[in-house]
């Protein structure tokens, strides 16, 4: 891909924007770079940036990504991930962007938590816009990006450096992994070959068992797993799955023009009604602070809406499975969704 004429960096986090701007200027002194301190949930501010700069290619990576936190704050998952994506996508459309690449996650497939559901809704939004307009909208689905902020590898390594026990949710838990270069490759190839409406997925092979990963990292660090470095099973948290999926049963991935990248051309039937649902979510967030999100969500995902309506009324704490030994810890199964920019 050729060097861009201008690169816009958009983030609401001042420090992140400052450091990525400085790093890129040092590495590419001849590149015209414009940092934009903008919150994607503010539609007028996003529109102003697009009106002024009129970008031709948009990579939308801004998202909240931590499953446990978003289960506690579902309204923020909807506000930032869903409304933010809608705002950026509509600005791209209205101001003539040629292509729009939305970064999603394997947690969007048959979602069981608010993080995954929010990304599924963004996929539907992108699919709907791709069917009616000239801008080429497409989705890419990530697995866990090894070495990224919040990834299990970083968390395990931090614990190992401190001599602390490693925390694994369930001995059966598996996750798909991809490297940072593979994630970048997937995004750029999708932008290059996408015609609009596709979902691109990297061939990531078999999922990796997290317990085996913990033992391997212990050995590499010179510790005997479970002896010199304990491994504690903490139990699945609300919304977490034992295993993840890269596509739904009705989706049929096929080889793309580039080796190692699969493309899904089927569209979800729910995409056609997504914009009114997003507008309903927006009204709910504005008027009731998201207290009745499950009602709007239930119109597209009845089982999810019923489950979370029930969960919100229950005050009983969820205990780990009987075969697991409880021990407090981090959520180590977090998909990397934000790329460089977190909004």
Annotated catalytic residue: which of 12, 107, 119, 120? 107
Q: Are the C-beta atoms of 100 and 138 separated by less than 8 Å?
A: yes
Cβ contacts of residue 13 below 8 Å, gap of 6+? 341, 342, 343
- Two structure tokens written together for 262: 């699969």
- Two structure tokens written together for 198: 């596709």
**Which long-range contacts (C-beta less than 8 Å, at least 24 apart) are formed by 218-223?**
218/160, 218/166, 221/160, 223/160
Q: Are the C-beta atoms of 111 and 120 separated by less than 8 Å?
A: yes
H helix or E strand, kind and range, residue 99? strand 99-105
Instruction: Write down the residue that tokens 């701007």 correspond to.
Output: 21
The packing angle between helices 274-288 and 114-130, to 10°, is: 140
Residue 203 C-alpha from the chain's centroid: 18
Catalytic-residue membership of 6: no
User: Which residues are known catalytic residues?
Assistant: 107
């Amino acid at each position: 891909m050729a060097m861009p004429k201008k690169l816009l960096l958009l983030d609401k986090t001042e420090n992140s924007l400052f450091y990525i701007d400085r790093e890129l200027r040092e590495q590419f002194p001849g590149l015209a770079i414009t940092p934009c301190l903008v919150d994607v949930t503010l539609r007028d501010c996003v529109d102003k940036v697009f009106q002024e700069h009129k970008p031709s290619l948009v990579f939308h990576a801004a998202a909240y990504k931590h499953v446990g936190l978003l289960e506690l704050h579902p309204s923020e998952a909807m506000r930032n991930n869903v409304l933010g994506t809608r705002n950026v996508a509509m600005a791209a459309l209205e101001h003539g962007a040629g292509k729009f690449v939305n970064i999603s996650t394997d947690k969007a497939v048959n979602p069981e938590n608010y993080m995954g559901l929010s990304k599924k809704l963004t996929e539907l939004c992108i699919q709907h816009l791709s069917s009616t307009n000239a801008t080429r909208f497409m989705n890419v689905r990530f697995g866990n990006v090894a070495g990224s902020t919040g990834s299990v590898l970083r968390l395990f390594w931090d614990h190992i450096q401190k001599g602390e026990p490693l925390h694994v949710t369930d001995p059966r838990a598996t996750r798909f992994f991809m490297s940072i270069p593979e994630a970048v490759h997937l995004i750029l190839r999708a932008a290059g070959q996408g015609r609009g409406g596709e979902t691109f997925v990297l061939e990531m092979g078999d999922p990796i068992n997290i317990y085996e990963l913990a033992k391997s990292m212990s050995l590499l660090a010179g510790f005997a797993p479970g002896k010199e470095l304990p491994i504690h099973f903490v139990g699945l948290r609300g919304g977490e799955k034992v295993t993840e999926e890269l596509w739904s049963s009705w989706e049929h991935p096929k080889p793309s023009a580039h080796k190692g990248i699969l493309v899904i051309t089927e569209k979800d039937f729910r995409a056609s009604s997504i914009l009114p649902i997003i507008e309903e979510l927006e009204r709910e967030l504005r008027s009731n602070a998201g207290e009745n999100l499950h009602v709007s969500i239930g119109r597209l995902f009845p089982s999810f809406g019923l489950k979370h309506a029930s969960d919100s009324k229950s005050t009983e704490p969820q205990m780990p499975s009987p075969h697991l030994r409880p021990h407090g810890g981090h959520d180590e199964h977090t998909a990397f969704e934000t790329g460089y920019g977190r909004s």
